Amino acid sequence: MKLIGIVGTNSDQSTNRKLLQFIQKHFADKAEIEICEIKGLPAFNEPKDKTAPAGIQELAEKIEAADGVIISTPEYDHSIPAALKSVIEWLSYSVQPFIDKPVMITGASHGSLGSSRAQAHLRQILDAPELKARIMPSAEFLLGRSLQAFDEEGNLVDREKIAELEDCFEEFVLFVEITNALLKEHHIRKVQNKDFSWK
């Protein structure tokens, strides 16, 4: 199984990057996970020809080719970072690679709530008609107080959190398999709404 993990921030010191790196290493026997950055991608500006910049197109191609996607988001002002929202706007406005794509949402934050409100907002966003992602239901992984959550080697130190993450990841692998099998079996085709406009 091939997955991609999207670091949902442009921060250089993000614990969400650390979380995805731990997931990549810890579940290496279950899936090949490529970590993708959104740092340096331009802000969305709604070009008339709906052509996304090269970095966005490259990310879209990786999403298309993957069996599933893991997005790890911090929480800024009770929501997702502007950089992540901008990337999602690019993708929904141009090539729409999230349509029917299985997605798992995780999040780490310095506070005790573990990006719970940001994750709720991200679920709403990914469920929009121009995105139509297949979001794993009834499961979330929240890592609070993330500055103290990792050791020097980047491993999670809380065994209960590791067990919780293992349960979530196992469920996601099953969700990816079932979702993709269902889509293949019923020949559900992705619909590109080329006439879409937010105006």
| Burial (Cβ within 10 Å: 0-12, 13-18, ≥19) of residue 43 | exposed
Would you say residue 169 lies in a domain?
Answer: yes
In a domain, 195, yes or no: no
Q: Is residue 198 one of the residues assigned to a domain?
A: no
**Residue 192: strand, helix, or coil:** coil
Residues in the chain: 199
* Residue 139 pLDDT: 82
Separation of alpha carbons 52 and 90, rounded Å:
7
Q: What is the pLDDT along the chain (199 residues), one digit of tens a residue?
A: 999 999 999 999 999 999 999 999 999 999 999 999 999 999 999 998 889 999 999 999 999 999 999 999 999 999 999 999 999 999 999 999 999 999 999 999 998 877 999 999 999 999 999 999 999 998 889 999 999 999 999 999 999 999 999 999 999 999 999 999 998 876 545 454 445 565 6
pLDDT of residue 89: 97
In a domain, 194, yes or no: no
- Write down the pLDDT at residue 198: 57
H or E element that contains 63: helix 54-65
What is residue 150's predicted lDDT score, i.e. its pLDDT?
96
Residue 180 is predicted with a pLDDT of: 93
pLDDT at site 196: 56
Report how far residue 92's alpha carbon sits from residue 86's, in angstroms, rounded to the nearest whole number: 10
Q: Would you say residue 199 lies in a domain?
A: no
Structural domain containing residue 45: 2-185
CB 42 within 8 Å of CB 33: no
Residue 157 forms part of a structural domain: yes
Q: Would residue 68 count as lying in a domain? A: yes
What is the tally of structural domains in the chain? 1
Given a contact cutoff of 8 angstroms between Cβ atoms, the answer to whether 29 and 157 are in contact is: no
The pLDDT, as a whole number, for residue 168 is 97
Query: What CATH number corresponds to the domain at position 162?
Result: 3.40.50.360
Please report the pLDDT score of residue 90 as a whole number: 96
The answer to the question of residue 196 being in a domain is no
Give the pLDDT confidence score for residue 107 in this predicted structure: 95
